[in-house]
Amino acid sequence: MATAESNSDKAVKIIDGVWWVGVNDHFNPLFEGLWALPHGISYNAYLVQGKNKTALIELSRNGFAETFIKKIEQIMPLTEIDYIVHNHLEPDHSGIIPIIYKACPQAEIIASGKGKVFLEQFYGEGKRVRAVGDGDSLDLGGRTLRFLGYPWLHWPDTMFSYLVEDKVLFPCDAFGGFGALDRGLFDDEIDLASYWPEAKRYLGTIVASYLGHVIKAIDKWVKGGMGINILCPSHGPVYRSNPMSIISRYQEWARNDKQDKVVMVVGSMWGNTHQMGAIVKHRLEHNGFTVKYFDAALAEPGQVLGEMLNAGGIVFGGPTYDTNIYPRLEYYLMLFRGKKKNGYPVATFTQNSWKVDITPKINRYLEDLKAQVVSPQVVAQGPPDNIIKKKLELLADNLAAKIKDSCFIPEG
């Protein structure tokens, strides 16, 4: 069984000739400079040995080259690696290219056609690449690596690698999650119940704009009729006991089926807007909804986006700030627009103590979001009195009715 020490410092055997040589990152507080990493993250990489040739699948982000090299050297010298396979070129898997390419002078570089373009763009190494297409394969000697095109999962260059004889799938970012692997590499070594929220947060942030591609990818895989004995994603645990546990969860989350769930994002300077939010939340719960309430000033944006999966409606609440939208609320309006949270029923309530109503500014975002704006858009001046309370309850009732009547399909 892997231990914290072994996972940090040692290569881990998955099956004979297939090794995990990834690294655990507890150093960087954010992924993509946006999403919190309270439990770290793993950048998984794998060494696959055939009778004649060895392939290294994926690398790591910069800053981890020394650990990465030490792990491979426990198995073989880097100079004997024949192929380096890039399933995708985002820098979390490619940042150490300048060091590793130098350490593996003989290695042929394998990537998709688009990956070759990115290799040139990021590292000036495009000429060294053999571009492979969907279905192409590499003979390692008694073992075959097959490459399968899965563009837009979540970059245009993405491909999966599949070790045919052993039915081991390396699906790049698909089926990944946040969280380092200190307590075990394999799905049967870790507490999956506490891991799933990190996987959902990963899907909700990194892949959420491409959920349709996740569904298509799973369909394409099923139609291809290839089995999976072991699933080796580029982040998160290796599934040797039950690969379907993560695949079925991704399928469910990516379908984004509407549930009786509302995400509320509410900002407040002195608490009055949260008092309004509490009235709306209570009334929605009274209507049978699960409410995920986030303080716009304190929430982790990745958690908010993770909860948007399977949500049926949204509530935005916030005060006027210097005649504009309270900035921490506006951040979420921008984020939801960027992540294409389109078509949802949306309720709003605001504060305009200085008599400047920010509702029209919020509505410009809602137009971009193609939102089904729910009436009344409530505006208060200070703590909610009985009149405002009644309006907020009506707003919650109307949102609940709109969600129940609505047959929209969320885009992301």
- Give residues in contact with ligand FEO (CB under 6 A): 88, 90, 92-93, 154-155, 173, 234-235
CA distances from 84 to 66, 67, 114, 130, 295 (A): 17, 18, 16, 10, 45
The distance of closest approach from Cβ of residue 65 to ligand FEO in the complex, given in angstroms and rounded to an integer, is: 17
Nearest CB to ligand FEO, comparing residues 42 and 351: 42
Q: What are the backbone dihedrals phi and psi of residue 107, each rounded to the nearest 5 degrees, phi first? A: -70, 135
Nearest CB to ligand FEO, comparing residues 214 and 395: 214
Nearest CB to ligand FEO, comparing residues 175 and 293: 175
Cβ-in-10-Å burial (0-12, 13-18, 19+) of 13 comes to middle
**Residue nearest to ligand FEO according to CB distances in the complex:** 90
Dihedral over Cα of 250, 256, 262, 266: its sign? positive
As a whole number of angstroms, the distance between CA 2 and CA 261 comes to 39
Nearest CB to ligand FEO, comparing residues 175 and 253: 175
Provide the strand spans (E) within 62-172: 83-85, 108-112, 129-132, 137-139, 144-149, 159-163, 168-170
The distance of closest approach from Cβ of residue 339 to ligand FEO in the complex, given in angstroms and rounded to an integer, is: 15
The distance of closest approach from Cβ of residue 12 to ligand FEO in the complex, given in angstroms and rounded to an integer, is: 19
Contact present, 194 and 55 (Cβ < 8 Å): no
As a whole number of angstroms, the distance between CA 281 and CA 279 comes to 6
The distance of closest approach from Cβ of residue 234 to ligand FEO in the complex, given in angstroms and rounded to an integer, is: 5
The distance of closest approach from Cβ of residue 176 to ligand FEO in the complex, given in angstroms and rounded to an integer, is: 7
Nearest CB to ligand FEO, comparing residues 233 and 267: 233
Nearest CB to ligand FEO, comparing residues 93 and 402: 93
Contact present, 162 and 145 (Cβ < 8 Å): yes
The distance of closest approach from Cβ of residue 172 to ligand FEO in the complex, given in angstroms and rounded to an integer, is: 7
